[in-house]
């Protein structure tokens, strides 16, 4: 009982010590705030009120009155860059670097900001040179990330691979998916120039980096087809199903063309139908619909589309159904069906987009690298309308 009473008596003491420490911290904070220029608070207030132009004027005045204020230079340079005034941002950071008394830590900071200025201004050579000087310093990881962006912009894929590997070794996280895509870019270029063996070697490296890379698998099938190995290509393309069933829509037409070449089109249709049952897809339906129409006629093609519409009701699917209905419709209603189809088709053109899951950028074409945010593998292999129905 005495022990518990002792602790109860100690509570006011600890409370008093905490109150005293808080008072000391508040006084120190107030003393430090008095040393800041009045323009600093004015500029900060303008920034908070979304008035960057006036904020810049306030910070410029501080820099004019106190040219030794490095923090104000950094703030001013970043404001210029955010506004797109990269030339002024470059001058601010160059002025900082020209100061002989600037501490090494702030010097590296200023050099990094200058490199970002060059990158934003499109001066890639200067940006690369600047970031290369920072690789072994405190901004090493950030500099490597910026270098990786530069090499991707310039499509220097071997250097991008080297930079991504350097980032991995520095402990900045795995870059295997990106490395696999860089090898795919090189392989695709080799295939365009009919360097099939070179492409195969690059695709082996891509799959070594990411064994479940859909793009590398598809391109490997393309390379086998270029060597007239149709059966091998079909076997490779069928592996896409094991990696990601929704991605089979991207390889459906290749598979169907391959089965036609070997004289087994019905086998191809049956395979694509099985994919469609596993993962509904407008693009996959499009391929199967055309093949069923050609092999079995209008009635079976309509049945296919109706069943798919019942399972996944979309305007894109309805567009296909109206197309099938018009083939054998009585002449009296063809014009009416045509009018409805044209109306539906107009809406489907807006819905037939792929959408980046990171930045929301929409495109008619499927991209492995988003044109909006430059991230890799952020496009689901489904159209936006399908994604909305699924959600």
| DSSP string covering 253-265 | HHHHHHHHHTT-H
Is the model's pLDDT at 311 over the cut of 60? Answer: yes
What is residue 303's predicted lDDT score, i.e. its pLDDT?
A: 85
Confidence at 338, pLDDT banded by 50, 70, 90: confident
pTM: 0.75
370 a known binding residue? yes
| pLDDT score, position 63 | 45
Type and span of the H or E element at 355: strand 354-355
Radius of gyration of the chain (CA): 31
> What's the distance, CA 348 to chain centroid?
25
Each residue's pLDDT tens digit, 351-378: 668 889 999 898 888 999 999 898 999 9
**Tens digit of each residue's pLDDT (9 = 90 or more) over 88-114:** 888 878 887 887 877 888 889 889 999
In this prediction, residues 322-332 reach a mean pLDDT of: 69
Strand pairing of 362-363 and 354-355? antiparallel
Mean pLDDT of 22-45: 45
Q: Output 28-33 pairs: Cβ under 8 A, ≥24 positions apart.
A: none
Exposed, middle or buried, 266 (CB in 10 Å: 0-12/13-18/19+)? exposed
Question: Quick one: average pLDDT of 138-145?
Answer: 90
CA dist 185 and 237 (Å) reads 18
Predicted pLDDT of residue 257: 96
What is the C-alpha to C-alpha distance for residues 158 and 173, in angstroms, rounded to an integer?
19
When pLDDT is averaged across residues 291-298 and rounded to a whole number, the result is 89
Q: Report the percent of the chain where pLDDT is more than 90.
A: 41
Is 184 annotated for ligand binding? no
Tokens coding 93? 């950071």
189 vs 301: which has the higher pLDDT: 189
Q: How far is CA 389 from the centre of its chain?
A: 23
pLDDT value of position 271: 96
Angle between helices 176-192 and 196-209 (to 10 degrees): 170
Known binding residue 373? Answer is yes
Q: What is the mean pLDDT of residues 109-124?
A: 90
Q: State in Å, rounded, how far the first CA of the chain is from the last one.
A: 62
Given pLDDT bands bounded at 50, 70 and 90, which one contains residue 50?
low
- Check pLDDT > 90 for residue 202: yes
Of 89, 70, 72, whose CA–CA distance to 80 is shortest?
89
- Residue 346 — pLDDT band, cuts 50, 70, 90? low
Q: What is the pLDDT of residue 364?
A: 86
The answer, yes or no, to whether residue 131 has pLDDT greater than 90, is yes
Residue 13 above 50 pLDDT? no
Residue 85's pLDDT band, with cuts at 50, 70 and 90, is confident
pLDDT reported for residue 386 = 60
Beta-bridge partner residues of 376: 369
| Cα-based torsion angle of the residue sequence 275, 277, 280, 281 in order, rounded to the nearest 10 degrees | 40
Report the 10 Å Cβ neighbour count for 388. Answer: 12
Nearest to 385 by CA among 344, 343, 353: 353
Band (pLDDT 50/70/90 cuts) for residue 3 is: very low
> How many other β-carbons are positioned within 10 Å of the β-carbon of residue 31?
9
Kindly give, in sequence order, each residue whose CB lies less than 8 Å from that of residue 271, ignoring residues fewer than 6 positions away. Answer: 238, 255, 259
Q: For the residues 179-201, what does the mean pLDDT come to?
A: 96
Q: Encoding tokens for residue 240?
A: 């896409």
Q: Mean pLDDT for the chain?
A: 80
DSSP string, 154-204: TT-HHHHHHHHHHHHHTTS---HHHHHHHHHHHHHHHHHTT-HHHHHHHHH
Residue 354 belongs to what H/E stretch? Answer: strand 354-355
What does the pLDDT look like over 373-385, one tens digit per residue? Answer: 989 999 988 877 5
Between CA 10 and CA 378 the distance in angstroms is 58
Those residues whose C-beta lies under 8 Å from the C-beta of residue 108, and which sit 6 or more positions away, are: 134, 137, 138, 139
Q: What is the mean pLDDT of residues 146-162?
A: 94
Average pLDDT (306-332) is 72
The two structure tokens encoding residue 308: 């798919």
Q: Say if residue 356 carries a ligand binding annotation.
A: yes
Least confident range from 28-32, 205-209, 309-313, 379-383: namely 28-32
């Amino acid at each position: 009982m005495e022990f518990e009473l002792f602790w109860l008596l100690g509570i006011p003491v600890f409370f008093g010590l905490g109150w005293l420490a808080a008072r000391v911290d508040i006084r120190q904070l107030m003393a430090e705030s008095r040393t800041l220029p009045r323009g600093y608070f004015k500029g900060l207030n303008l920034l908070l009120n979304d008035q960057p132009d006036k904020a810049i004027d306030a910070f410029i005045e501080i820099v004019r009155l106190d040219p030794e204020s490095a923090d104000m230079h950094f703030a001013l340079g970043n404001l210029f860059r955010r506004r797109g005034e990269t030339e002024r941002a470059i001058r601010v950071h160059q002025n900082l670097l020209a100061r002989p008394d600037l501490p090494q830590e702030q010097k590296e900071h200023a050099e990094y900001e200058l490199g970002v200025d060059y990158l934003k201004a499109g001066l890639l050579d200067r940006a690369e040179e600047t970031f290369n000087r920072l690789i072994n310093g405190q901004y090493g990881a950030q500099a490597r990330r910026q270098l990786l962006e530069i090499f991707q912009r310039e499509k220097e894929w071997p250097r991008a691979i080297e930079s991504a590997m350097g980032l991995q070794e520095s402990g900045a996280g795995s870059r295997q998916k990106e490395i696999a895509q860089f090898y795919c870019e090189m392989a695709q270029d080799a295939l365009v120039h009919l360097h099939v063996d070179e492409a195969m070697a690059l695709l082996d490296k891509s799959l070594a980096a990411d064994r479940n890379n859909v793009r590398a698998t598809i391109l490997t099938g393309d390379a086998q087809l270029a060597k007239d190995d149709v059966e091998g290509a079909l076997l490779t393309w069928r592996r896409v199903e094991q990696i990601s069933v929704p991605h089979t829509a991207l390889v459906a037409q290749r598979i169907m063309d391959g089965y036609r070449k070997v004289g087994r089109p019905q086998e191809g249709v049956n395979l694509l139908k099985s994919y469609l049952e596993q993962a509904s897809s407008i693009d996959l339906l499009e391929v199967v619909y055309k093949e069923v129409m050609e092999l079995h006629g209008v009635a079976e093609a309509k049945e296919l589309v109706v069943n798919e519409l019942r399972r996944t009701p979309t305007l894109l699917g309805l567009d296909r159904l109206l197309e099938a209905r018009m083939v054998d419709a009585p002449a009296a209603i063809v014009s009416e069906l045509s009018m409805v189809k044209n109306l539906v088709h107009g809406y489907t053109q807006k819905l037939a987009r792929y959408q980046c899951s990171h930045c929301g950028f929409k495109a008619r074409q499927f991209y492995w690298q988003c044109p909006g945010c430059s991230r890799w593998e952020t496009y689901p292999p489904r159209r936006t309308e399908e994604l909305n129905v699924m959600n």
